[in-house]
Amino acid sequence: MKGKSLAAYGGLGLLIIFLMLSWQLFDLHLLVEQLRGMLAEPGWLFFMFVVYLLSFVLKAAAWQAYAGREHPFGLYLHGIFYSLLVNHLLPIKAGDFVRAGLLMKKARMRWDTALHSVVMMRLTDLFVLGTIAAAGMLGLGMAVSWYTIAGAAAAALILGAALKLMPIRRWPFVSRHAEQFKAVAISRQGPYIFALVAASWVLEAVILYGIARMADIRLGAAASIWANSVTIGGQLFHVTPGGIGTYESTMSGTLALLGVDWEKAYATALLAHAFKFAVSFLVGAYSLLRMPIGLQEARGWLRMPRKSDLQTNQTSERIFK
């Protein structure tokens, strides 16, 4: 509950920042001008759409490699599309429960096993995004002192030692997830899964890169990948449909750090988020047609027990041979 409260407060804080930025920076003329620039280059828009879809294909491939190749690839892709749609409709990240529910239904998995695979994919996302964000701060020449780096390293060591020494076995849920994550990392599948997830986030940055390019903003590929990763990481504080407010606040700030004018950074963030909203509804509608689920059924998945009683060792043996 404390974690949820912290996320809620963080999301409300970013939403307030967004409202303040909107009051100060909203420029309809600039926004329309950038939008016209985008519409004037349909080829780039189509390219962005295709590459963005490819990023979901890679995420689905990583999920399939983790959860089991005996189930069709389309099931995992539709699960991600449904998750995307629900997350852009509801003020909470409920899409992951629908994603797990679809896997449970179509693959005839236990609820806890399906949910666990989704949780592990989310943890992998966070690990990859955190790595990209940290590497970007150094690689892009951010003003980060060695004191900060040393402090972060010390904090990581302390956290690792604490997790090692804490009586984690008293919390079976945490213990089982930790064991499964370890199984992923040291298995033959591990590097493949992490590589797919990393490549998917790199590809997703094409949206920011393309919109910046069409708005005559000088933003390199590496800077786009870093800004996108930091922005997505900020979506942990998701308290509005699609993270409205948190996305714009985080992306505006990261672009400003990269030297982009605040007004252009704000307009670019709005357009990038609008593009993602449009794609989310489009692919969600596609999944509703190809693999329909009932509203009552989806609601039932949202009310399913949150705690997993996973048979970790059996699952690990099945997946990581």
For residue range 205-257, what is the model confidence (pLDDT) as tens digits?
A: 999 999 998 888 888 899 999 999 988 887 765 667 777 778 888 888 889 88
> Would the pLDDT of 309 be above 60?
no
Do 109 and 315 touch, CB atoms closer than 8 A?
no
Give residue-wise pLDDT tens across range 105-164: 888 888 888 888 888 898 889 889 988 888 877 766 655 445 445 555 555 565 555 555
Q: What is the pLDDT of residue 54?
A: 97
Q: CA separation (Å) from 280 to 51, 124, 241, 303, 307?
A: 14, 22, 12, 23, 28
Has residue 79 got a pLDDT over 90? yes
Which tokens hold the place of 227? 């800004």
- Quick count: other Cβ atoms within 10 Å of Cβ 43? 7
Q: What is the pTM of this model?
A: 0.80
Domain range for 250 is 2-319
313, 113 Cβ separation under 8 angstroms: no
For 24-37, what is each residue's pLDDT tens digit? 766 677 778 887 88
Residue 286 DSSP SS3: helix
CB–CB of 240/91 below 8 Å? yes
pLDDT reported for residue 114? 86
- Predicted local distance difference test score (pLDDT) of residue 313: 39
Q: Positive or negative CA dihedral for 46, 283, 86, 206?
A: negative
CA-atom Rg of the chain in angstroms: 20
**Cα separation, 291 vs 139, whole angstroms:** 43
Per the CB < 8 A criterion, the answer to whether 14 and 234 are in contact is yes
Per-residue DSSP letter, 68: -
Task: Taking the CA atoms of 272, 278, 281 and 283 in sequence, report the sign of the dihedral they define.
Answer: negative
Q: Convert the pLDDT of each residue in 162-204 to its tens digit.
A: 555 555 545 565 666 667 667 666 777 788 999 999 999 999 9
CA distance 316 to 91: 34
- The pLDDT value recorded for residue 57 is 97
- Count: domains in the chain: 1
For 292, the enclosing helix (H) or strand (E) is: none
More confident residue, 267 or 94: 267
